[in-house]
Structure 1
Amino acid sequence: MILTASMTVRFPAYYWIWHLMRMLFYFPVRYFRFRKNGWELYLLDWCYVVSYITTACSLLAFLRIMFGIETALHQYNGTLIRAGFAMCCGPLIWSVYVFRNSIVFHDLDYMTSVFIHMSPFLVMWCLRWGAGVPSVINEAFPDMFRVCASKEEFAAADACLETFRGALWCNACHAPFLDFVVPPAFVYLCVWSIPYFYFVCVRWSDWIKDTKRETLVMYFVETNPELNEYLERKMIGIGVGRRYASPLGYMLFHFTSTIALAGSSYFLWHSFLLHTILGCFALTTAVHNGGQYMFRVFAYRYAAGEFKKHQAVLD
């Protein structure tokens, strides 16, 4: 945590590398831990896929500026950055609150969940604002991340953060609202939603049941029975078969909430203060949840110890 905070505030231009290094540790460990319990299909959920995409795009951009290796994605650099920003600073960061992510230092699973939802947010915070100096990323890795269209735009963004008014709302490196809705929705549908529904909910559905694998769709159905029943009725009402009504209802709900939260990132793109406040809120929430978890564990262990003492006396 100390190193992460130091990288974020002191070396924001290199935080994306630190994020990649931690991802190479956390994700393989989580895969092997999940596989033992039949949970490995959770690694195909959207939160994980966002990390896969942002990491792949970062590596491709690095290869382009270092070795001149270009791909077809090069011309969409700015668009992809804003799409990634929308997802990392929209649905992912709010998942810390929704899923009650907790900072528990001695528990790798808890820390991995926090990493999945918070670290991509910090990557985008560093790319957009550079911990208060937006141009720092372009100086360290010229033309790698096209957050701004030109050096003049980066300079204007730097000037924004010299005043409170500019930190509250900065029009430098401006991006229209639709940039945080349309491209993210396109990537969401084509890269994840349609393939996920086809393979997990259709093609592999029998295998998943036979092998007792778990998926986020199943988790949603079990934990939100009333909402699931409502969505299922709506899907059946428009002609969807009962077998696919529940998973399709979930996918529609997931799409709507994800794109709505992605659209809210428009305000974070233009406000250093709002972006920073949201990050602090997510961190505080994770710390608070971790504190509650530790209190419950301590209380349980204390009660169990006292019970054993009294049991020994009675015996």
Structure 2
Amino acid sequence: CNVAFTCFLLGAVPRYFYLWHTPKAIVLIALRWYTFRKEGKHYLLYDFCYWANGVGLLFLWVYPSSATLFQIFFLLANGPLAWSVLAFSQSLVFHSHAHMTSVFVHVSPMLLSYALRWTTPPPNGPAFGPDLVTCVPVTACLEVPPLQLLYGGTIYFYIPWIVGYYVWVFVIL
């Protein structure tokens, strides 16, 4: 039902996918925290994939007009998270909550970035929110030099995350 509705939503009205993604992200990551907390593995939530999901939610609900944050989210979702599906052999196992959550955490940001970036907004304005910026028209994205996208994501997200992760996991713990 979940996978079927996700496919339907992306095919029929992708501009509303964020309304399906957001509660799923909150519930599944909260359940993952609860499960990991009981097992003493809650520090695994400092991993890159959870923070990349956080960037997506931050863009959606706190800074929807930030083109830079959207570009960083797009690169994270379609770069490291996309490759991690192959690298870590993510499996869609319907009877396993842990597998379904892992697949969601790694795949859903790609679907969300697709829905936000490549679908046509309604004729009367942005897909949602008062100031949504997702490079409409397409030429707006092409005006950003690729190196700026690469280094912008590195400077604004990856370096702060890796420094914080290293300090927390290898120094404090």
- 2:15 paired residue number: 13
- Aligned pair partner of 1:188 in 133, 158, 162: 158
Normalising by structure 1, we get a TM-score of 0.50
Q: Distance in 1 between matches of 2:28 and 2:47?
A: 16
The superposition leaves residues 268-301 of structure 1 with CA deviations (integer Å, 9 ceiling, x where unpaired) of: xxxxxxxxxxxxxxxxxxxxxxxxxxxxxxxxxx
Instruction: Pick the structure with more helix per residue.
Output: 1
Q: Which amino acid in 2 is paired with 1:141?
A: F
**8 Å CA contact retained: 2:126, 2:132:** no
Aligned residue runs from structure 1 range 21-40, under 5 A: 21-40=23-42
The structural deviation recorded for 1:37 is: 2.1
The superposition leaves residues 145-171 of structure 1 with CA deviations (integer Å, 9 ceiling, x where unpaired) of: 3112xxxx53xx4xxxxxxxxxxxxx5
The structural deviation recorded for 1:144 is: 3.2
The structural deviation recorded for 1:176 is: 2.0
The structural deviation recorded for 1:45 is: 0.5
Normalising by structure 2, we get a TM-score of 0.88
Deviation >2 Å, runs of 4+: 134-145
- Aligned pair partner of 2:79 in 90, 96, 103: 90
SS, match of residue 181 in structure 1 = helix
Structure 2: tracts of 5 or more residues without a match: none
- Alignment length (residue pairs): 168
SS, match of residue 62 in structure 2 = helix
- 1:230 paired residue number: none
**CA RMSD, Structure 1 to Structure 2 (Å):** 1.9
Q: Distance in 1 between matches of 2:129 and 2:16?
A: 13
Identity within the alignment, % = 31
Of structures 1 and 2, the larger Rg is shown by 1
Aligned residue runs from structure 1 range 122-271, under 5 A: 122-130=111-119, 134-136=120-122, 138-141=125-128, 144-148=131-135, 153-154=136-137, 157=138, 171=139, 173-174=141-142, 175-186=144-155, 187-190=157-160, 192-204=161-173
Aligned residue runs from structure 1 range 43-58, under 5 A: 43-58=45-60
The structural deviation recorded for 1:16 is: 1.4
SS, match of residue 84 in structure 1 = helix
SS, match of residue 102 in structure 1 = coil
